[in-house]
Amino acid sequence: MSHVESMLKLKHWAVVGATDNTEKYGCKIYKVLKAAGYNVYPVNPGINEILGDRCYPALSDLPITPEVVNIVVPAKISEQIINNCAELGIKNVWLQPGSNAANVVALAKELGLNVVDKNCVLAELRNHKQDI
């Protein structure tokens, strides 16, 4: 089973870079994961609420440890998020296009994390809908 398939079977996710701007992927991903039945937590230090849900400033502020972290922030910020995941014992990271710079992917693998770095979660949810 690929990392894509195994991560899509996990139900507790965080979206780092979630936003209340409906035009941005951070909002679209959060909304689609929620609609697909996932338990999703938005993470963005600059926003208090997304789609009526509390938004958390950092992964360490979440009430649970997510099984998967979907990263929708620029690559320069992604590196710190990868380090946070490793510190918190989060093993699965999904780097959206734009956050998946080679150095970020290398760091995640170096830290022993499972990484999806070439796939958009929105496309994969459409492709795997029948399997979930």
Q: Can you give the CATH number for the domain in which 16 is found?
A: 3.40.50.720
Whole-number average pLDDT of the chain: 95
C-alpha–C-alpha distance, residues 29 and 109, integer Å? 24
CA distance 35 to 37: 5
Is the pLDDT assigned to residue 66 strictly greater than 90? Answer: yes
CB 66 within 8 A of CB 59: yes
pTM of the model: 0.95
What is the predicted pLDDT for the residue at 15? 98
Domain of residue 60, residue span: 3-131
- Whether 9 shows a pLDDT value over 90: the answer reads yes
Lowest-pLDDT range, 1-5, 9-13, 86-90? 1-5
Please give the tally of structural domains in the chain.
Answer: 1
